[in-house]
Amino acid sequence: MTPAEWQRELERLDRLARLLDARFRLFGIRFGWDGIASIVPGLGDAVTALPAAWLIWRAHKLGLPGSVILRMAANCGIDFVGGSVPLLGTLFDVAFKSNLRNMALLRRHLEETR
């Protein structure tokens, strides 16, 4: 991948993470579609787990080591389990922001290896 292609891919993944975790602001609190979807316990988290898994798959394709991929998967697992709790799960999803955490892991690894 050329540096320009890497940059475009990172921008696409950043947009996805922000869409899921920080797209909207209400009373100074940032939240995204992950928090909104978690209003439907279980089902909402299952639906938003798909784009989160895609983000992890793309990180794997970008060459991140298994240890980082495992941490990213753990973030998604924590988000899925925590978000599945009725009512409190929505608050958890708004606060935890697993996709933004995963993008930070991805960027940190790429900065360390370049």
The tokens describing 30, both together, are: 């940032």
pLDDT for res 2:
80
pTM: 0.91
Q: Per-residue pLDDT for 108 more than 80?
A: yes
Q: How far is CA 5 from CA 1, 2, 33, 113, in A?
A: 6, 5, 27, 17
pLDDT for res 41:
79
Nearest CA among 42, 34, 38, 41 for reference residue 17: 34
CA 61 to chain centre: 16
Give bridge partners of residue 25 from the DSSP assignment: 30
pLDDT digits (tens, 9 = 90+) for 24-72: 999 999 999 999 998 987 788 899 999 999 999 999 999 999 999 999 9
Angle at 44 (CA atoms; ends 10, 52), nearest 5 degrees: 20
